[in-house]
Amino acid sequence: MATTTTSEGSTTLSDVGACKPQETGTAQKRVQTTRFTNAWIVLAGKLVQADLFVREGIILDAAKHFWQASCDKSNTQDVVIDCEDHILAPGFIDIQLNGAYGVDFSDPQHLRDAAKVEETCRSIALHGVTSFYPTVVTVDKPTYSQVMPLLHDLCVGAKEQRKSAVAEMLGIHCEGPFIAVSGAHCDDCINRDDAGKVSSMGYTVSIGCSANVTSLKIVTLAPESVSTQLIQSLVASGVRVSAGHSNATLEQTEQAIGNGVSMVTHMFNAMKAFSHRSPGCIGLLGLAPDRQPFVSVIADGHHVHPCVVNMAWKCLKTTLPASARKDGLTSQTHWHACKFMLISDAISAAGLSRAQAIKVGCMEVRITDNGTRAVLKTDSSVLAGSVTMLDQCVRNLLQFCPDCTIAQAIEAASTIPARAMGVEKQKGQLIPGADADLVLMDRNNLSIVKVWKRGVLVT
C-alpha cells in the first residue's frame, strides 16, 4: 500500500477508504490516465503531499494502479498535471443555493432557458462548487407545479450528461412551505393550515405537484408545525429533513430529530432567538455530540457575526460520542464526526457585478453595502439570501475561526455536506472510486486556480 507523508505523520490510502482490488479478466480497452502531481491533497482533515490518479472521471486506487502497471504496460499515466505546490481539494457541495448569475431556481421562466441554466452551472463551478442542490423558496402552488418538474428534469439530465464540465445538480432542496418563521419568504405562501395533516399522501403532491418528484432530496420545515408522519414519510422516501425557519423549542427539535430530522438549515437565522432559559433550536449546539444533527451556517459576514460562527464551529468540529472516545479512536475518526457545514444561501444576484430587479421567489430584493448584502425591498432589516459564493465562505471561515485549519475549512464545504447527504463515497472526498471533482486552490489565499468536473477541466 502506498504511503504519503504529512506534517502529522503517515497516512495510507487504506485509512481513507481505498477500494478493494478487483479481479482482472480479459484485456480492456485502453483509456487515458491522468496524474496530478506536486500537490497538497486534502485527505481526512489534513493536507497531504501526494499524487492523485484519475481515469474516466474516477479517482484511482494508486496502489492497485501501480500493481497493474507492473503487469500491463498499457496501464500507465498519459497526462501529467503539475499542481505547482497548490492545494488539490474535493469539489465543493452547496446544499442551499437559491440561484446565481441571474438565474433564480424558484422562477420557472428562468428554468426554461436551458442555455442560461447551463451557463450559470458553468459559472458556479468556477467557484469550486462542482455539485449543488438547487433550492426552492416558499412559493404558491401554481409556481411549485411548474418549478418542481423543471428542476427534476434538470437533475435527471445532470445524471445522464455526466461528461459536462459544469456544476451538477444532485437533487432539489425545498425550503418550505411548512415553516413558521417567514424570514425573506412570502408569508402568504406559507402553508400553516395543512401542515399537520400532510403525511403519506406525499409532500410534493401536497404542495401542488401532480405527482411525486423523485429528485426531491432535502426539505426544510418547522418541526413544531408538521406531523410526525410527514417527517417520517419523507425520511422513508430518502429525503433529508432539515429543521429551519422555526420557533421550535429545544425539546420539540430533539423530538423531531428522534423522528428523523438530520440537519438544521442556516443555524441562527430565521429561528427562535437564543435564551439561556429557553435556547430553542440553537440549544442543539450544547447537546452531547452524538445527539447533534448536521448544522449549516452562512459565513458571508452578514448573516452571522464572525464570533458566533466561531462559537458554532467550536461546538460542532469535534463531535465524537463518549463511547468512541473511550475506545481510543484516532484523531482522523474524530474529525470525520464533525457536523459543521458551510452553505452559501446565494441568490440570483450572486456573481453579478450589478444586479437589478432581483427577486427571490416572489419577494423583491435590493442589493446594498457595495454589492455584498441582499435585503428585502420592503424591509431593509431582513436579509434575503446571500450574494456570496461558497468559496468565499471557506475563506471567511478561516478568518472567523482561529483554530480552523485549511483542510478543515475546505471539508466543511465538501466532505461534511457529502456525509450529511449520504453521498460521501462519490462526492466530497479524494478517495478511490469517488468522482474526480477537483478544485485547485492557491495555498496562500485559497483563491480558485482551476476546477475539474469528473476529470474534465471547467473553462
pLDDT tens track for 312-323: 999 998 644 445
Q: Which of 61, 345, 391, 435 is catalytic?
A: 345
Q: At what angle do helices 390-400 and 306-316 cross, to 10 degrees?
A: 90
Which set of grid coordinates corresponds to residue 115?
442555455
% of the chain exceeding 70 in pLDDT: 83
Instruction: Check whether 437 has a pLDDT greater than 50.
Output: yes
In the sheet where 373-376 sits, what is the strand order? 358-360, 363-368, 373-376
Distances (CA, A) of 219 to 7, 175, 248, 333: 41, 6, 16, 29
Degrees, nearest 5: CA angle 268-354-447: 65
pLDDT tens track for 186-207: 999 998 876 666 654 568 888 8
- Write down the residue that cell numbers 452571522 correspond to: 304
Give the β-pairing of 263-264 and 294-298.
parallel
Instruction: Check whether 14 has a pLDDT greater than 60.
Output: no
- Check if the beta carbon of residue 129 is closer than 8 Å to that of residue 167: yes
Which set of grid coordinates corresponds to residue 32?
487515458
Give CA–CA dist 398/404, Å, rounded.
6
In 3D space, the residue among 155, 153, 209, 210 whose CA is nearest the CA of residue 177 turns out to be 209
In 3D space, the residue among 459, 457, 351 whose CA is nearest the CA of residue 81 turns out to be 457
CATH superfamily, domain 92-424, is Metal-dependent hydrolases (3.20.20.140)
- What pLDDT does residue 78 have? 87
Active site residue 15: no
- Give the lowest-confidence range in 144-148, 157-161, 396-400: 157-161
Burial of 10 (0-12, 13-18, 19+ CB in 10 A): exposed
Which set of grid coordinates corresponds to residue 385?
439570501
Give CA–CA dist 91/457, Å, rounded.
12
- Residue 47, classed as helix, strand or coil, is strand
What is the value of pTM for the model shown?
0.89
Give CA–CA dist 367/102, Å, rounded.
13
- Check if the beta carbon of residue 98 is closer than 8 Å to that of residue 385: yes
Give CA–CA dist 208/201, Å, rounded.
12
Give CA–CA dist 99/104, Å, rounded.
4
Q: Where on the phi/psi map is residue 43: left (φ > 0), alpha (ψ -120 to 50), or beta? A: beta
- What pLDDT does residue 353 have? 82
End-to-end alpha-carbon separation of the chain, Å? 35
- What pLDDT does residue 198 have? 66
Top mean pLDDT of 14-28, 88-102, 208-222, 333-347 is at: 88-102
User: Mean pLDDT, to the nearest integer, of 300-311?
Assistant: 98
Instruction: Check whether 329 has a pLDDT greater than 50.
Output: no
- What pLDDT does residue 360 have? 93
pLDDT band at 255, cuts 50/70/90? very high
Give CA–CA dist 439/89, Å, rounded.
5
pLDDT tens track for 363-422: 999 999 888 999 999 999 999 999 999 999 999 999 999 999 999 999 999 999 999 999
Q: Which residues of 399-436 are buried (b: 16+ CB within 10 A; e: fewer)?
A: ebbeebebbbbbbbbbbbbbbbbebbebbbbbbbebbb
Higher pLDDT, 160 or 28: 160
- What pLDDT does residue 260 have? 97
pLDDT tens track for 211-226: 778 999 999 999 999 9
Distances (CA, A) of 353 to 348, 370, 435: 12, 10, 32
In 3D space, the residue among 176, 165, 123 whose CA is nearest the CA of residue 390 turns out to be 123
Peptide bond into 177 cis (omega under 30): yes
